[in-house]
């Protein structure tokens, strides 16, 4: 288990704090089982953050300040039985809300100001399924995100699974939302260069909390990862 982690400035969400999904992915590596990570405060960047075991939980701290907490994930996504192809995903992405008044345009995952090969450039757009409205986005992770075996590293899968839930939950058209909690189950590897689709949907709202789920579909249409998230409305 790593004793510390550090979130580089490249991996921002809001410009002055770490990307929620990427940070949760780093923390999850300290868990022996799928993790459910709650972010307690904005994640500082470019400094060492310490990891501490608390029973079956993991705490991420800056000195004595609790930044995030990970617990075992108890969750299985209700995988939609929808037929969605890359052409439709590309059409939806072209009309993504990410291109209009994005409050965090340099977000590592969904920021339109990030260059190809720098950010993930995942731009979820609306798609009407047979039973409900979804957000869909294509994603082809580049080779620089993969390990020596060619599999995309876990922290980048987590980052990819984060923002699509935000768009489904209401970001940015319902206000400025930030990741409050993210749990993910990585089912099977994703290869660098693989043509994937992210499919996300809203699951409810309680006051300032917005809930959503997401699945990552591989090139063969199988589920490679699933996530659930709670987003917090700031304004």
CATH number at residue 152: 3.10.129.10
Q: What is the mean pLDDT of residues 50-66?
A: 94
Q: Could you give the number of structural domains in the chain?
A: 2
C-alpha dihedral (86, 160, 28, 203), degrees to nearest 10: -80
Per-residue pLDDT, 82: 81
Q: With helix as H, strand as E and coil as C, how does 77-139 read?
A: CCCCCCCCCHHHHHHHHHCCHHHCCCCCCCCCCCCCCCCECCECCCCCEEEECCCCEEEEEEE
Both 110 and 13 in one domain: the answer is: no
Q: How far is CA 219 from each of CA 91, 160, 223, rounded to the nearest angstrom?
A: 18, 15, 10
User: What residues contact residue 102 under an 8 Å CB cut-off, 6+ apart?
Assistant: 110, 111, 112, 172
Both 54 and 116 in one domain: the answer is: no
Asked whether residue 79 is assigned to any structural domain, the reply reads: no
Structure tokens at 152: 């995309």
Asked whether residue 80 is assigned to any structural domain, the reply reads: no
Q: How far is CA 180 from each of CA 99, 103, 150, 216, 228, rounded to the nearest angstrom?
A: 23, 17, 31, 20, 11
- For 7-23, the pLDDT digits (tens) are 999 999 999 999 999 99
**Boundary-marking domain end, from 37, 72, 107:** 72
Both 42 and 143 in one domain: the answer is: no
Percent of the chain topping pLDDT 90: 88
Both 133 and 98 in one domain: the answer is: yes
Parent domain of 197: 86-233
- For 30-50, the pLDDT digits (tens) are 999 999 999 999 999 999 999
Q: Tell me how far apart the alpha carbons of residues 78 and 2 are, in angstroms, rounded to a whole number.
A: 33
Both 21 and 92 in one domain: the answer is: no
Both 66 and 113 in one domain: the answer is: no
Q: What is the mean pLDDT of residues 200-204?
A: 96
């Amino acid at each position: 288990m790593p004793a510390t982690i550090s979130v580089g400035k490249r991996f921002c969400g809001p410009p002055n704090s770490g990307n929620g999904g990427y940070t949760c992915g780093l923390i999850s590596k300290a868990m022996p089982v799928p993790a459910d990570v709650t972010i307690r405060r904005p994640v500082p960047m470019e400094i060492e953050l310490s990891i501490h075991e608390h029973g079956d939980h993991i705490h991420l701290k800056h000195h004595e300040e609790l930044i995030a907490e990970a617990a075992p994930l108890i969750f299985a996504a209700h995988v939609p039985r929808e037929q969605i192809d890359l052409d439709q995903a590309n059409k939806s992405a072209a009309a993504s809300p990410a291109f209009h008044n994005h409050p965090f345009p340099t977000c590592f995952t969904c920021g339109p100001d990030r260059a190809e090969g720098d950010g993930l450039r995942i731009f979820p757009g609306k798609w009407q399924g047979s039973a409900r409205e979804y957000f869909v986005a294509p994603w082809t992770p580049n080779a620089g995100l993969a390990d020596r075996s060619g599999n995309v590293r876990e922290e980048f899968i987590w980052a990819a699974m984060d923002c699509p839930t935000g768009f489904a939950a209401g970001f940015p058209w319902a206000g400025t939302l930030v990741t409050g909690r993210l749990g993910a189950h990585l089912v099977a590897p994703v290869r660098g260069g693989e043509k994937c689709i992210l499919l996300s949907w809203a699951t409810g709202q309680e006051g300032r909390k917005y809930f959503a789920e997401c699945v990552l579909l591989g090139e063969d249409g199988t589920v490679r990862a699933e996530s659930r998230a709670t987003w917090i409305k700031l304004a």
